[in-house]
Structure 1
Amino acid sequence: MSEFTLKTRLLAALKGEEVDKVPVCSVTQTGIVELMDVVGAPWPESHTDAELMAKLALANHEISGLEAVRVPYCLTVLVEGLGCEINMGTKNRQPSVTGHPYPKSLDGAAIPEDLLQRGRIPAVLEAIKIIREKVGPDVPIIGGMEGPITVASDLASVKSFMKWSIKKPELFEQVLDLSTEASVIYANAMVEAGADIISVADPVASPDLMSPDSFKQYLQPRLQNFSSQVDAVTILHVCGNVNPIIDYMADCGFEGLSVEEKVEDVKKAKEIIGDRARLVGNISSPFTLLPGPVDKIITEGKQAIADGIDVLAPGCGIAPMTPLENVKALVAARDEYYA
């Protein structure tokens, strides 16, 4: 079955089709300091400059061997376009939200008509076009973004978002709907620019913050709405221990579900989701990939494949200080498994 390209293999794996080997990539953030130095594309500059953004993303494909190119490197691009204040971080710290446009009410809240021209959104779209031109048609490009639930919490602030979920359900649902609509617009713009897969990281949807009942009642319908309107293969990443909601996640319409190492039993998780979605992960970013050693990464990677993981990947964003050799070890784990 050597007719697979990197792109057709990853897309097939995410659709539940038979592949010759499990793809290995990162559907979450891929920027590491060692590669920033190698290619001269450091943070925070490569968050705003399309050429540098593309260069750093390409490096983790070309140098480490990860089988997809993923941009950008944070979960603040869309919310910046929607009015959040952002701290752009440092060379080894990602951008973060520091100010929220609607902490008290949603008066005047609307999606700007020029959303796709705001903030760093044009840089991300341009970076995707640059990457496509460089890699050609056979390498998959993953457009990463904050999910609609996290967008909503950033617009209102996590504190107000949580309070509204209990005391002001009408505001809670209104901000969720606004965020979902904005997320669809941005995701489809990335697809139009050349992204093959949209990877949505929605940490605020985690059972650590929202109850499973709230997920089913309020969050699942918005995620279903998102996945049904985005014209690409989609992956949903939710941080933390998602065992209480993985059944609901599987009903959200995403081809892939990206999970952390806290989903310890891959076989059981696969049984629960059945043929509704494919499992991506779940090698620990902070506890395995960052510290190593290489032998541990290879052992855990091979075990994940043996347990039935569909796409071998870091369980969350790659920590910026992760050594390059440790990222390469993730690819080596897959290669050794099939040797």
Structure 2
Amino acid sequence: MGEIKDFNCTYDNSAGINGEVTEGLGLTFPDAYLHADTMAKLSRALKEHDGAAFCELPFCHTVEAEAMGGLVNYGNDKTGPRAKEYICTKPEELLELQPIDFSKGRIHEVLQACRMLREQGEHVVLQVSGPFTILNVLIDARYVFKAMRKQPEVMKEVFWKLGNEVLRFMEEAKKYGVDLISYADSSGGVNILGPKMAEQVVEDFTYEFLKQVEGLADEHTMILLCPKTTFALLGTGHGKLKDHLTETGIRYGEACIRMTGKAKFAGQMCIKNVGYELENGIFKELVLI
């Protein structure tokens, strides 16, 4: 067993919207975060402003938790939606939360926006959150860490309850044409959990969960991993990197699009780092082992 390295993330849960972009769009906030057509319009404007190869949705890390009953402050034109107040105080309550209904609410609007963008010929990165990020909206982190120490089996159930909802979200996303599904859980990084707990989460949840997610990758879909997740898999011996030569000067997002159908998992850089160029044109596929 190796050591889990940390990835120094400068994009941790970044949910802000660039003011320069929102100014000329004639959108009303936070209303624009709630409807598919305005989400698509904003996502496309952000893509053009950043010079990215893809559109990204949603603009926050609260969609899944809200769809399970969480309370969200929708923010404004500067800050995207964020957690409002917690609805749970003990892990057992998390197990009672409603399953996600993908036919209604903001999560449905996100999926519809993805479809609109795909129909307009755009590549779409759907940002999907992992358990710790979802828990941040539902329950105070103090109760999570206490339960991980004193009720590890209950927390394992919680991870899988949330993980199964995330898996369903990914499956739905494919039906709406999403070609790049980004999975991140920076709130559960080794810098927060510590080495021992981070390793336990990989063994109890992350590895087996991603084995299931792997089945969603095909000629039309790639799974993008946050580098924190990549390092957790490498450090626990559950992953290895496989090099693919693309071309010198290609940016990471463009390489992911090009490698769709040839690699199942990407994970060498944060997809939000839109200007990152592959070193020597080498795309590193994460292979589960």
Answer yes or no: is 1:44 the counterpart of 2:30: yes
What TM-score, normalized by structure 1, do the two folds share? 0.62
Aligned-residue Cα RMSD (Å) equals 3.5
Structure 1 residue aligned with 2:235: 248
Structure 2 residue aligned with 1:280: 269
Structure 1, 68-77 or 91-100: larger mean CA deviation: 91-100
SS where residue 279 of structure 1 aligns?
Answer: coil
Residue 140 of structure 2, aligned match among 154, 157, 170: 157
In 1, are the aligned partners of 2:227 and 2:269 still within 8 Å (CA)? no
Structure 2 residue aligned with 1:178: 161
Shift of 1:149: 2.8
Structure 2 residue aligned with 1:333: none
Answer yes or no: is 1:208 the counterpart of 2:191: yes
In 1, are the aligned partners of 2:40 and 2:117 still within 8 Å (CA)? yes
Residue 123 of structure 2, aligned match among 140, 144, 159: 140
In 1, are the aligned partners of 2:129 and 2:184 still within 8 Å (CA)? yes
* Whole-Å separation in 1 of the counterparts to 2:63 and 2:107: 6
SS where residue 76 of structure 2 aligns?
Answer: coil
Inter-CA distance 152–64: structure 2 relative to 1 (3 Å threshold): closer
Answer yes or no: is 1:59 the counterpart of 2:45: yes
Inter-CA distance 248–148: structure 2 relative to 1 (3 Å threshold): farther
In the TM superposition, what whole-angstrom CA distance separates every residue of 1:177-207 from its partner, at most 9, and x where no partner exists?
1111111111211121111111122121112
Q: Structure 2: state its 5+ residue gaps.
A: 1-13, 243-263, 285-289
Inter-CA distance 193–283: structure 2 relative to 1 (3 Å threshold): closer
Q: Structure 1: state its 5+ residue gaps.
A: 1-27, 256-274, 290-296, 312-339
In 1, are the aligned partners of 2:30 and 2:77 still within 8 Å (CA)? yes
Matches within 5 A, 1:188-207: 188-207=171-190
Amino acid at match of 1:234: I
* Whole-Å separation in 1 of the counterparts to 2:265 and 2:182: 17
Amino acid at match of 2:120: K
SS where residue 99 of structure 1 aligns?
Answer: coil
* Whole-Å separation in 1 of the counterparts to 2:100 and 2:23: 35
What TM-score, normalized by structure 2, do the two folds share? 0.71
SS where residue 217 of structure 1 aligns?
Answer: helix
Matches within 5 A, 1:23-38: 31-38=17-24
Inter-CA distance 194–220: structure 2 relative to 1 (3 Å threshold): farther
Structure 2 residue aligned with 1:234: 223
In 2, are the aligned partners of 1:197 and 1:235 still within 8 Å (CA)? yes
In 2, are the aligned partners of 1:140 and 1:195 still within 8 Å (CA)? yes
In 1, are the aligned partners of 2:67 and 2:105 still within 8 Å (CA)? yes
